[in-house]
Homo-oligomer: A and B are copies of this chain.
């Protein structure tokens, strides 16, 4: 409990501290900013928090967060029936990939990754639902875009096994040196991936 100036301000600071990456000082700064400079903003944020918390659920097809039955991408017939499914861990990954404008298929959002130590198994990340969808619709390719971490790789392998049994072509996004990065600052594993994944140089 923060010892501030008044109960209402203390409560606001405490609740702002629930936000990821926000500690006591930042929460105080946010609270004072809203109260001194942007009361309208505070009320708008209050309303949108309540609306989102009350209404947002999961997309029936891809499991991402949305307040509608189908998310914007799944609601688009061209994308829903494209036959290419990109598997990602979080809704934030969907937004990141959408910003590249390179992918025109649909997504399946795991909302996590396999983590047996935390008791998170295939059903918890919707792999039973994914298998059902792969059996139902014609799917030409699965693009595995889980994070390049131990858990993300394990999850990718697990999904690749399912896809293989169903005879679906499976690819993994490329790992290598980030564009604009300097070799000296890239870690060994990434550099190893960059070498093993090298491509013919084309002029």
Binding site for B on A (CB under 8 A): 3-9, 11-12, 14-16, 18-21, 26, 28-36, 38-39, 41-53, 55-56, 64-68, 71-73, 90-92, 94-95, 98, 111
Contact = CB atoms under 8 A, between A and B. Distances in A.
Given A18-B41, A35-B56, A6 B50 contact: no
A2 to B, nearest CB: 9
Contact of A33 (B15, B19, B43, B66): B19
A44 B36 CA distance: 21
B91 A32 contact: yes
A131 to B, nearest CB: 23
A9 B53 CA distance: 9
Contact residues of A: prevailing secondary structure:
helix
Contacts of A56: 6, 8-9, 35
A12 B52 contact: yes
A15 B65 contact: no
A76 to B, nearest CB: 12
Given A30-B20, A41-B18, A71-B6, A46 B50 contact: yes
B5 A65 contact: yes
19 contacts: A5-B64, A5-B91, A6-B68, A8-B51, A8-B56, A8-B67, A9-B52, A11-B48, A16-B45, A18-B45, A19-B33, A20-B29, A20-B33, A21-B26, A29-B92, A32-B92, A36-B111, A42-B49, A43-B50
Given A5-B65, A6-B67, A32-B65, A46 B49 contact: yes
4 pairs of A and B residues whose beta carbons are closest in the complex:
A46-B49, A42-B53, A6-B66, A18-B41
A30 to B, nearest CB: 5
Nearest to A11: B48
Q: Which of A44, A48, A66 has the most CB of B within 10 A?
A: A48
